[in-house]
Amino acid sequence: MIRVFLTNIVRFIMLVFLQVFLLKNIALYDMATPYLYILFILLLPFETPNIVLFLLSFGIGLTIDMFYDTPGLHAAACTLLALVRVLFISITVQKDGFDNEPEPTLSIMGFRWFFTYALILTLFHHFFLFNLEVFRLTEIEYTLTRFLSSSIFTVFLMLVSGLLFFRRKERK
């Protein structure tokens, strides 16, 4: 229990630090901006109570908002991400027989499940974030291009980090 708590505290600090001091300055062709900090929400254990999940999601979004000078955009998008995570896990985890797994990492859940999970949740987060940021239909083409390219970039970084930092575990 304490180990899981400390792991998530370190993960929170490292992902916020990485997002704010490195990834904030990276933009491919002024279109694709990676938001790797959402990996914190995606990797929280399955047994995390929903109220804690929503509070942590709001907290990491608010933390990013403070550094990006965006009044509540990331907090709102992360709270929506927490809702979509709850729905996605309730639909897939019991159906696929993953009910006794501790957390949704690439090494535990497998590539196909984790890729689908990360892609769907990232698409929801980025779509909401970029549409909330622009909030105009006149720039829909630019917004959609930015949303798709940033989602692909973010999921790519999630998969790379999953392959680098998580060891392979055999499922029972």
- Summarised one tens digit per residue, pLDDT across range 68-125 is 999 999 999 999 999 999 999 888 876 555 556 677 888 788 889 889 999 999 999 9
Q: CB of 64 within 8 A of CB of 19?
A: yes
- Who has greater pLDDT, 46 or 84? 84
Percentage of residues of the chain with pLDDT beyond 70: 91
Q: Kindly give, in sequence order, each residue whose CB lies less than 8 Å from that of residue 135, ignoring residues fewer than 6 positions away.
A: none
The Cα–Cα gap between 48 and 50 comes to 6
Closest CA to 165 of 7, 45, 48: 7
User: Higher-confidence residue: 165 or 85?
Assistant: 85
User: Who contacts 162 (Cβ-Cβ below 8 Å, separation ≥6)?
Assistant: 105, 106, 107, 114
For residues 139-166, give the mean pLDDT. Answer: 90
Q: Across residues 133-137, what is the average pLDDT?
A: 85
Q: Could you tell me the pTM of the whole model? A: 0.88
Tokens of 3: 């180990």
Cα(137)–Cα(157) distance, rounded to whole angstroms? 29
